[in-house]
Amino acid sequence: MNQPEAVHIGSDDLPWVDIGDGSQLRVLQVKPKEGLWIVENIFQAGYEVETHKHTGPVWGYTRSGAWKYKEYDYVNTTGSFLYEPAGSVHTLQCIEDNTQVWFQMHGSNINLDGDGNITSVADGMITLEFYFAMCAEMGKPNPPVLVD
């Protein structure tokens, strides 16, 4: 009987790519049929993600540093866990340099302008294509992101 095997990806197997202001991204897993995408970010103080609405739930774990949503009073710090239900809308702001956050998302992020108009949509496959393009720009082959 064949049993599935665990898959290990070492800490140096997936390169970090620049997403602006010295902040970085790496994509860990994308399951297009399930709408699942898992990413890790390192944000620098002052980095802000465009206001967005999630079409599916999101789980976030802060590995280091501090960040918040403009719309809420709480601050996510080292060890914080965050659950975002589908339909939630917020604007991520980084407070401390080298803030490292791991996100597991389902569905898409619908990016919004100040009037609530859609400016763009991001999902796992779009993010993966961006990640691979940035790796290629750095002269690195496609890393072993889990994709199925």
Indicate the DSSP class of residue 134. H
**Do the domain assignments include residue 136?**
no
User: How many structural domains are present in the chain?
Assistant: 1
In the chain, what percentage of residues exceed pLDDT 70? 100
**Do the domain assignments include residue 68?**
yes
Q: Are 103 and 59 in contact (CB under 8 A)?
A: yes
**Do the domain assignments include residue 1?**
no
Rounded CA gap, 55 and 102, in Å?
A: 18
**Do the domain assignments include residue 109?**
yes
Q: What is the pLDDT of residue 8?
A: 93
pLDDT tens for 26-70 read 999 999 999 999 999 999 999 999 999 999 999 999 999 999 999
Q: Rounded mean pLDDT of 17-28?
A: 95
Is the pLDDT at 99 greater than 90? The verdict is yes
CATH number at residue 74: 2.60.120.10
pLDDT tens for 79-93 read 999 999 999 999 999
Rounded CA gap, 64 and 78, in Å?
A: 4
Full residue range of the structural domain in which residue 79 is found: 17-130
**Do the domain assignments include residue 148?**
no
**Do the domain assignments include residue 77?**
yes
User: What's the Cα-to-Cα distance from 27 to each of 54, 74, 83, rounded to whole Å?
Assistant: 18, 27, 19
Q: What is the pLDDT of residue 148?
A: 87
**Do the domain assignments include residue 8?**
no
Look up the pTM and report it.
0.94
